[in-house]
Chains A and B, each alone.
Chain A
Amino acid sequence: MKKLGTYLLLATVLVGCQTVLVGCQSADPVQKASPELQRQYNAAFQEMLKDPGNLDAVMAYAKVATKTGDYEGAVGAYESLLLVDSNLPRVRLELGILYYRLKSYETSRIYLESALASPALPADIRKPAELLLAKMPKQSKSQRT
């Protein structure tokens, strides 16, 4: 069962990476989403704007933004939670995965390592996070612009 969870998480990340690669060709992934997903996205964003202190609204927006491929939007929402309390390993894990999807590996590594450093991170998601960290490409000079 744990292996299944591991594969699910890795598959999620890899599919996300493909979305990023496709997303690089289109300026805005939200505009490429289905009308229904766009509606959900816009509704979630408006709800968060209307009631920014509502944790459910922030979480809902982060989730639909991730689903839509707007990883920047999801990052912004999760980062706001870390401003309230930096000791949220699950949120750090989410950020680690999102930055990985954006190929922002150094930032991803920081968030994954800090999530894993927390004893509060449940064991069943610790292993996939460790695997993702192990797969992390190291930035080389060849990537420089």
Chain B
Amino acid sequence: MSKSNVVILLLLRTLLVGAAGLALFSTAHAQGRIGVTQATQNKPMGQPPGGVDRVLRVGTDVQANEIISTAADDRAHLVFLDGTTLTVGPSSQLTIDKFVYDPTTQKGELAVNATKGVFRLIGGRISKTSAITVTTPAATMGIRGGMAAFSVATGGATITVSLFGVITVTAGGVTQTMTVPGLQVSTSTGGTPAAPTIVTQGSLSAALGALVGNSTATAATLTAIQTLVASNLGNPVTLQALIQAIIVANTATPITTTTTTTTLAVITVVENPNQTQASPN
């Protein structure tokens, strides 16, 4: 094979690889779907780029560059295509700045900009090889192979709590690194991140509490429960049926189920709530 043929072949290969890369990237943009809304409370809002505000329901796709916002009683739980999950607490706002993921290599990039509120991010495949970036008015966080909860005050001051993995907080040229769960780093706007301190049970509990549903059921939930109980008079209502009813009451998409037994990791819930057993795992 002549030198010129080798050069041509190399050029062609480069072009093909480049085209494949572009196709992958543009596909993600063309489809727009980078994740899905897995659970919601009340009416969290999403504004896709160039689109209008829409209420995020269970099953609503999430797009790159989408702005997610919640009011005082709203919450949203998003799952991305790489398995990363992001819980958005009440009175919060963030923009999904970047999401690139190649399912073949299981590598990619995720960047989020949080302007206010409380959040929990649990890293998926992307975070196993590169840190997920969260930017706030006060700091830039890196979440690698792990989980973090963070709150952003109205002025931008940020508190980052390490739940697992390697969490970095950078501001003003200073970086603090947390490799042990249960630590927190505070950063004031315009300042540098303070040294990690042990998070108090009270503040951790408050942060986690803001990221779960209200214990007071919504009107829709109450109605669903009442209907379920009324239609099962004389029969025990299973945990699964109860959760199904609650989800149905709070979602616009149909719920499907294929079995009548709900299995947790260590507990098996059977139709009769009095019959419980430890599962083998």
Contact = CB atoms under 8 A, between A and B. Distances in A.
Given A74-B265, A80-B39, A94-B264, A104 B250 contact: no
A66 B281 CA distance: 9
Nearest to A13: B266
Interface in A60-85: 62-63, 66-67, 70, 72-77, 79-85
A110 interface: yes
A90 B243 CA distance: 12
B77 A97 contact: no
A145 B166 CA distance: 10
B257 A56 contact: yes
Contact of A55 (B129, B255, B266): B255
Contacts of A27: 128-129, 145
A144 B198 contact: yes
A21 interface: no
Nearest to B177: A145
A72 B262 contact: no
Contacts of A63: 263-265, 281
B141 interface: no
Interface residues of A, number: 64
A124 interface: yes
A72 B276 contact: no
B208 interface: yes
B262 A84 contact: no
Contact of B264 (A59, A86, A107, A144): A59
Contact of A90 (B77, B180, B208, B269): B269
Contacts of B281: 12, 63, 66-67
Contacts of B278: 4-5, 8-9, 124-125
A130 interface: no
Interface string B208-252: 100111110100010000000000000000011011101110110
B146 to A, nearest CB: 7
Q: Which of B128, B246, B278 has the most CB of A within 10 A?
A: B278
A55 B265 CA distance: 14
Contact of B147 (A72, A84, A88, A145): A72
Max chain B Cβ within 10 angstroms of own Cβ: one of A51, A70, A72? A72
Nearest to A62: B265
Interface string B99-123: 0000000100000000000001011
B83 A144 contact: no
Nearest to A20: B164
A51 B147 CA distance: 24
Contacts of B40: 83
Interface string A23-58: 000011011000000000000010011011111101
Contacts of B246: 84-85
A84 B182 CA distance: 25
Given A54-B257, A125-B278, A145-B179, 5 more contacts: A49-B36, A73-B124, A79-B120, A105-B181, A124-B277
18 contacts: A8-B280, A49-B36, A53-B251, A54-B257, A55-B247, A63-B264, A80-B87, A83-B41, A83-B213, A90-B239, A91-B264, A99-B163, A99-B164, A124-B277, A141-B198, A144-B183, A145-B177, A145-B178
